[in-house]
């Protein structure tokens, strides 16, 4: 059979490539973004309890009402803003499904979507599948600040959506309150939808506050806020997330959601609803990961890598320009094969594979793993 690929330029993801290489050479895997420690036993026990209590059939299409109410309470507690649990919250099969569904619900052929690079790798393929055009704004290492004048120049009558990600994977940068106010001002009076990928909302460091799009009234009126329980509760394999948006936007989302997912794992929803009743389960996450970031950075402070501490997420970008001038993909592979430590080359997330000689390392690992990783990095 002959066919033309809808995604001719998409191959195996860098995450799969580097993890396979790590397995092949028995290397420490600091490439893919998931913890190598257990989720809370209490949460896992709640899943078992839910299954034994009969929560094994289809959940409501938008998600368990108990979980949606718990999510609404979380927004009220954290951001003093409200989303109606019946009409403005949908539980999804992870954040990536939420992002895919949002783009599919609104992007038509020739619509333009602005993204900021380095960018999470699911955005552009989904835009392309729906006939849209990706408009990239490249952020510069090591701080990855946004030039809002450049954003203003890229907005035109074809701009249908802007996607932001804060705290940002892969750079570990965050949008400030000033960033969000400038974005709000740019979008006033337009019909542009904002997709705010906030899956690392609870992992932000040095006393900073997460600037959710829902904190800014005009932004909230046009925004899908996307979140992830997997990132928050150390169980990425469960693939449970959610999104919140005004009713009229969520109605369009549900039209697509009901046919590509319909509903999400029921016993896990019941368990998460119960677990969220104690806010400390997510309120303590920033402190937990800041300890890991600080441990990792203190251990490699005398290495030859140049360090700009991550402001959020559980990723740390390291500049290796004083070690070698190799392309980042080549250096990442050599580190995996020769030194037994796997990372992610940042160029794969950039416009035209821009190479700033930086690699991304995941520090969502046990302290023992971080100590072992630091010993390797200190001898490179």
- Please report the domains of the chain, with CATH numbers, ordered by start residue: 14-32+284-377 (3.90.1150.10), 41-279 (3.40.640.10)
CA distance 83 to 213: 13
CA distance 374 to 369: 9
Angle at CA of residue 282, ends 280 and 285, nearest 5°: 105
DSSP single-letter state for residue 366: -
The dihedral through the CA atoms of 138, 144, 316, 94 has a sign that is negative
Task: Establish whether the linkage from the previous residue to 118 is cis, with ω within 30° of 0.
Answer: yes
- Give the residue from 238, 216, 234 showing the smallest Cα distance to 225: 216
For residue range 173-218, what is the model confidence (pLDDT) as tens digits? 999 999 999 999 999 999 999 999 999 999 999 999 999 999 999 9
Q: What is the pLDDT averaged over residues 75-79?
A: 98
Q: What is the pLDDT averaged over residues 298-309?
A: 98
For residue range 91-148, what is the model confidence (pLDDT) as tens digits? 999 999 999 999 999 999 999 999 999 999 999 999 999 999 999 999 999 999 999 9
pTM recorded for the entire structure:
0.97
43, pLDDT greater than 90: yes
CA distance 377 to 319: 12
Q: How confident is the model at residue 1, as a pLDDT?
A: 83
Torsion, Cα 151 156 158 160, to 10 degrees, reads 50
Q: How confident is the model at residue 179, as a pLDDT?
A: 98
- Give the residue from 128, 89, 319, 127 showing the smallest Cα distance to 226: 89
| pLDDT band (50, 70, 90) for residue 301 | very high
Beta strand ranges found along the chain (DSSP E) = 28-29, 89-92, 112-117, 133-138, 159-165, 193-197, 223-228, 241-244, 306-307, 315-319, 341-342, 344-345, 358-362
- Token readout for 244 is 């919140």
CA distance 191 to 193: 6
Q: What is the pLDDT averaged over residues 221-249?
A: 97
- Which residues face 235 on adjacent strands? none
| pLDDT band (50, 70, 90) for residue 11 | confident
H/E segment holding residue 316: strand 315-319
Angle at CA of residue 180, ends 272 and 360, nearest 5°: 65
Q: How confident is the model at residue 9, as a pLDDT?
A: 84
- Share above pLDDT 90 across residues of the chain, in percent, rounded to a whole number: 96
- Give the residue from 367, 343, 374 showing the smallest Cα distance to 29: 343
| CB contact at 8 A, 92 and 243 | yes
């Amino acid at each position: 059979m002959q066919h033309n690929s809808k995604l001719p330029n998409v191959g195996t993801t860098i995450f799969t490539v580097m993890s396979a290489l790590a397995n092949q050479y028995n290397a420490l895997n600091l490439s893919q973004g998931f913890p190598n420690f257990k989720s809370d036993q209490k949460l896992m026990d709640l899943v078992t309890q839910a299954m034994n209590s009969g929560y094994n059939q289809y959940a409501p299409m938008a998600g368990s009402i108990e979980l949606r109410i718990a999510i609404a309470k979380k927004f009220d507690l954290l951001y003093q803003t409200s989303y109606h649990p019946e009409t403005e919250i949908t539980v999804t099969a992870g954040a990536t499904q939420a992002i895919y569904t949002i783009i599919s619900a609104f992007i038509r052929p020739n619509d333009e979507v602005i993204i900021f690079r380095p960018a999470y790798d699911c955005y552009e393929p989904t835009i392309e599948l729906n006939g849209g055009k990706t408009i990239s704004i490249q952020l510069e290492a090591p701080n990855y600040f946004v030039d809002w004048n450049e954003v203003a120049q890229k907005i035109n009558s074809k701009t249908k959506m802007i996607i932001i990600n804060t705290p940002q994977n892969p750079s570990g940068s965050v949008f400030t309150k000033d960033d969000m106010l400038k974005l709000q001002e740019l979008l006033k009076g337009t019909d542009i939808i904002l997709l705010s990928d906030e899956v690392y909302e609870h992992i932000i460091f040095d006393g900073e506050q997460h600037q959710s799009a829902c904190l800014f009234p005009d932004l909230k009126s046009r925004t899908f806020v996307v979140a992830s329980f997997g990132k928050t509760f150390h169980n990425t394999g469960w693939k449970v997330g959610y999104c919140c948006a005004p009713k009229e936007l969520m109605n369009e989302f549900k039209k697509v959601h009901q046919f590509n997912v319909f509903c999400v794992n029921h016993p896990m929803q019941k368990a998460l609803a119960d677990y969220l009743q104690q806010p400390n389960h997510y309120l303590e996450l920033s402190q937990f990961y800041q300890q890991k970031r600080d441990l990792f950075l203190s251990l490699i402070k005398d290495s030859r890598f140049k360090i700009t501490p991550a402001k959020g997420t559980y990723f740390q970008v390291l500049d290796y320009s004083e070690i070698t001038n190799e392309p980042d993909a080549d250096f990442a592979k050599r580190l995996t094969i020769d030194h037994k430590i796997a990372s992610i080359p940042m160029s794969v997330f950039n416009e035209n594979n821009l190479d700033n000689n930086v690699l991304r390392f995941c520090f969502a690992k046990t302290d023992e793993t971080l100590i072992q990783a630091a010993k390797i990095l200190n001898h490179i």
